[in-house]
Amino acid sequence: MDLSLTTPVQYIPRVGPARAKLLKKLAIETVRDLLYYIPFRYDDFSLISPIDRVQPGETVTVKGTVTAFHNAFTKSGKKLQEVKVSDETGTLEIIWFNQPFLSRVLPVGTQVRLAGSIGWFAHELVMTSPSYEVTGPGPVSESLHTGRLVPIYPETEGISSKWLRGRIAFVLEQVLSSVVDALPDFGLMPLPRAIQTVHFPQTKDQAVMARRRLAFDELFFLHLRAFEERRNWEQTKKSYPCRIDKNEVTKLINTLPFTLTDDQKTATREILTDLTRAYPMNRLLEGDVGAGKTVVAMIAMYVAHSNGLVSVLMAPTQILAEQHYTTIKGFLEPFGIQVGLVTGSQKTELDSRLRGNDKFDVLVGTHALLSRKIKFNRLGLVVIDEQQRFGVLQRSALEKITKRGKTPHLLTMTATPIPRSVARTVMGNLDLSILATIPDGRKKVKTWVVPNEKRQKAYQWITKQINENGGQTFIICPLIEESETLATVKSAKTEFDRLTSVFGGFCLGLLHGRMKVKEKNSVLEDFRRNKIQILVATPVVEVGIDIPNATIMLIEAAERFGLSQLHQLRGRVGRGELQSYCLLFTEVSEGQTLNRLKAIETTHSGPILAELDLTLRGPGELFGTRQHGLPELKVARFSDSDLISETRTAVHGVVGQDPNLSSFPLLREKLRESTITNGQQD
């Protein structure tokens, strides 16, 4: 069968259904995915040496014939392969460990290329555990695994880099000519060459240029798609433009029991400006839990009402909806604004009220609000409060409310820390307002990085705290993998047993993601009622749980977490009157990793920590984007702000002169394709 870019990998020779399944784990499903499976580094085996010239400490490739093969045993009884390879200049000893099958692959007489480092062993120069490649008499440059820069890929069980290399080389030969370069000429390496080169570069510089070209593509299309969406929104959607009466707004603000923070003022100004436009607002309001997003949204709802418009606020849970309802009603009712609550549990009552003549100016509810075909008269503003996962309610809301007629202004609120560079690329269709600070007067959670030597002291301190103040404690077990595996659960159980004897006087509970809902709830209930003083939990512990009496958060192996994630865990305490504490246990005692952790001792802003994560933790490690439902980049890095700006400028250059892309049919086509694939991922 002829391969094309969209052929499922299963049909590539020597792949088949079983391997295809393994490849799926690496998100490789089609030939194109395989081509875009980018190495994360290269082994430099490009130095080719005659055998008599190899030097200890060198990493080299030698080419020769197997002249001896001996399966032996080490002193400890492990299997050892002792092999001799000769060329016209001499003979080199090769050693492998525990690979007896090599005697079949490399029998005496085989022509072979070997790449690895040279060391001393029993007074002789040897090459230990080299990469090998059985060859014919051809020139070295045809090799894949030796004698060159050799790509190393993220692997999974059953899929090695060596195997991937072979299949990628095969596929490159078959389909590279059908890769279309859709980009206008920006003086970059042509796309097909970049794909070829990123796998099999001649030099490191070439590899860098190839990768840059692919990253450029990726970012370019993100910006372009965002631009298209934004333009489409602005040109096709009609809003109810509002008039802003500053005095009236001030009247509301004056009734608040606090003054707005500077960030709240800025966000309010941005939002109210959006409301005046003839196309609907599409804005994201980002800020930690407790940053005061609700009041900002409420001011917008108030302005909507002054303009004769109805507002809806959707919350992810019933409890949150009820909280919002109480808050908003308290502030807005004095202004004669009717606030209503809709949750799943009182459907029928609401239905009858909505059908009757009850009139609401502001309706608060869960997303049940969306599934019901409520006919709103002059729905002017929809506010979506997504505590944790960004984009879930937003997507369904967009679908439901923006079909025809006028589109309400849309404000999405999130506690997910999204760095600006991420927002500018993957969410470039949204405007962004950030509340970077928590209002003053709130007690900050005192945070300490605790080195290993102080572990016992810390346990004593916790015991004292619980005895004296009655504060409860979370102990978060180390993060082993991003999703909760059996290993994580096992380590949590072990930790639980150990801590039970450390904290003999208290009642401990264990919580992990593999427990049944009923079990979980009963543990949480016991914790809430202080029947349990110390809750040992895995990192995936329900982020939304709210236990005001919990004052201590202890996180094990804190260096394994991203700062944003630590910050979110820290947010589980500090919710009541008592001073709260966060203890970050780590065995790391110096260097960058420690500095990174130290940042969280003094920084209490989620968005700022998210930015730090990007710069300090290095590329590709923005923790939890998947968890938050944001797409991930394959080649480009969110930390590469230069390339993010450059690609943005490039997109503006193109659309500035030709917004419909009429003279860029290839771009249009590719944009359409990428929109489709993206839609499927959701």
Considering only residues 136 through 175, tell me which ones interact with ligand ADP, judged by CB under 6 A.
none
Stretch that binds ligand ADP, among 167-175, 246-254, 284-292, 341-349 (CB under 6 A): 284-292
Q: How far out from the chain centre does Cα 50 lie?
A: 47
Stretch that binds ligand ADP, among 34-42, 283-291, 444-452, 626-634 (CB under 6 A): 283-291
Element holding 161 (H helix, E strand):
helix 161-175
Stretch that binds ligand ADP, among 11-19, 161-169, 285-293, 445-453 (CB under 6 A): 285-293
* Cβ distance to ligand ADP smaller for residue 533 or 564: 564
Under a CB-based contact definition with an 8 Å cutoff, are residues 12 and 166 in contact? no
295 in contact with ligand ADP (CB under 6 A): yes
294 in contact with ligand ADP (CB under 6 A): yes
Size of the site for ligand ADP (CB under 6 A): 13
Instruction: Write the DSSP symbol of residue 483.
Output: S
Q: Shortest approach of ligand ADP to residue 252 CB, angstroms?
A: 13
Stretch that binds ligand ADP, among 192-200, 289-297, 455-463, 487-495 (CB under 6 A): 289-297
Q: Which residues contact 186 (CB under 8 A, 6 or more apart)?
A: 216, 650
Considering only residues 89 through 118, tell me which ones interact with ligand ADP, judged by CB under 6 A.
none
CA separation (Å) from 282 to 73, 204, 371, 412, 607?
69, 43, 21, 8, 20
* Cβ distance to ligand ADP smaller for residue 471 or 606: 606
Under a CB-based contact definition with an 8 Å cutoff, are residues 240 and 268 in contact? no
258 in contact with ligand ADP (CB under 6 A): yes
300 in contact with ligand ADP (CB under 6 A): no
Which residue has the closest beta carbon to ligand ADP? 292
* Cβ distance to ligand ADP smaller for residue 289 or 524: 289
Element holding 53 (H helix, E strand):
none
291 in contact with ligand ADP (CB under 6 A): yes
* Cβ distance to ligand ADP smaller for residue 293 or 409: 293
* Cβ distance to ligand ADP smaller for residue 295 or 480: 295
CA separation (Å) from 95 to 82, 91, 131, 162?
5, 13, 11, 19
Helical spans, DSSP H, in 189-261? 191-199, 204-236, 246-255
Closest CA to 546 of 446, 472, 441: 472
293 in contact with ligand ADP (CB under 6 A): yes
Q: How far out from the chain centre does Cα 594 lie?
A: 22
DSSP string, 350-368: HHHHHHTT---SEEEE-TH
* Cβ distance to ligand ADP smaller for residue 267 or 492: 267
How many Cα atoms are found within 13 Å in the side-chain-facing hemisphere of 523?
21
Q: Which amino acid, 307?
A: N
- d(CA 476, CA 480) in angstroms, rounded, equals 12
* Cβ distance to ligand ADP smaller for residue 174 or 318: 318
* Cβ distance to ligand ADP smaller for residue 272 or 536: 272
Stretch that binds ligand ADP, among 254-262, 466-474, 476-484, 642-650 (CB under 6 A): 254-262
Q: Shortest approach of ligand ADP to residue 119 CB, angstroms?
A: 58
Q: Shortest approach of ligand ADP to residue 389 CB, angstroms?
A: 15
Q: Shortest approach of ligand ADP to residue 394 CB, angstroms?
A: 16
Q: Shortest approach of ligand ADP to residue 565 CB, angstroms?
A: 18
264 in contact with ligand ADP (CB under 6 A): yes
289 in contact with ligand ADP (CB under 6 A): yes
- d(CA 647, CA 654) in angstroms, rounded, equals 11
Q: Shortest approach of ligand ADP to residue 294 CB, angstroms?
A: 3
β-pairing, 310-314 vs 379-386, is: parallel
* Cβ distance to ligand ADP smaller for residue 193 or 575: 575
* Cβ distance to ligand ADP smaller for residue 299 or 479: 299
DSSP string, 633-644: PSSS-TT-HHHH
120 in contact with ligand ADP (CB under 6 A): no
Stretch that binds ligand ADP, among 260-268, 487-495, 550-558, 592-600 (CB under 6 A): 260-268
* Cβ distance to ligand ADP smaller for residue 294 or 402: 294
Closest CA to 672 of 657, 663, 661: 661
* Cβ distance to ligand ADP smaller for residue 387 or 485: 387
DSSP string, 487-516: HHHHHHHHHHHHHHHHTTTS-EEEE-TTS-
Q: Is 260 exposed, middle or buried (0-12, 13-18, 19+ CB in 10 A)?
A: middle
* Cβ distance to ligand ADP smaller for residue 329 or 634: 329
> How many other β-carbons are positioned within 10 Å of the β-carbon of residue 610?
25
Under a CB-based contact definition with an 8 Å cutoff, are residues 524 and 510 in contact? no
Instruction: Single out the residue of 64, 130, 151, 287 in contact with ligand ADP (rule: CB under 6 A).
Output: 287
Backbone angles phi, psi at 514, to 5 degrees: -90, 0
Instruction: Single out the residue of 50, 166, 241, 290 in contact with ligand ADP (rule: CB under 6 A).
Output: 290
Q: Shortest approach of ligand ADP to residue 342 CB, angstroms?
A: 19
260 in contact with ligand ADP (CB under 6 A): yes
Q: Shortest approach of ligand ADP to residue 339 CB, angstroms?
A: 16
Under a CB-based contact definition with an 8 Å cutoff, are residues 49 and 130 in contact? no
* Cβ distance to ligand ADP smaller for residue 116 or 316: 316
CA trace torsion 143, 145, 146, 149 (10° rounding): 100
Considering only residues 402 through 441, tell me which ones interact with ligand ADP, judged by CB under 6 A.
439
CA separation (Å) from 299 to 285, 292, 409, 432?
13, 12, 14, 17
- d(CA 447, CA 581) in angstroms, rounded, equals 6
Q: Shortest approach of ligand ADP to residue 381 CB, angstroms?
A: 17
> How many other β-carbons are positioned within 10 Å of the β-carbon of residue 587?
11
Q: Shortest approach of ligand ADP to residue 349 CB, angstroms?
A: 26
Coil, helix or strand at residue 673? helix
Q: Shortest approach of ligand ADP to residue 256 CB, angstroms?
A: 8
Stretch that binds ligand ADP, among 80-88, 292-300, 459-467, 535-543 (CB under 6 A): 292-300
Q: Is 321 exposed, middle or buried (0-12, 13-18, 19+ CB in 10 A)?
A: buried
* Cβ distance to ligand ADP smaller for residue 259 or 645: 259
Q: Shortest approach of ligand ADP to residue 527 CB, angstroms?
A: 22
Stretch that binds ligand ADP, among 258-266, 418-426, 541-549, 578-586 (CB under 6 A): 258-266
- d(CA 593, CA 586) in angstroms, rounded, equals 10
Instruction: Single out the residue of 116, 280, 292, 624 in contact with ligand ADP (rule: CB under 6 A).
Output: 292
* Cβ distance to ligand ADP smaller for residue 194 or 436: 436
* Cβ distance to ligand ADP smaller for residue 291 or 573: 291
Q: Which residues bind ligand ADP (CB under 6 A)?
A: 258, 260-261, 264, 287, 289-295, 439
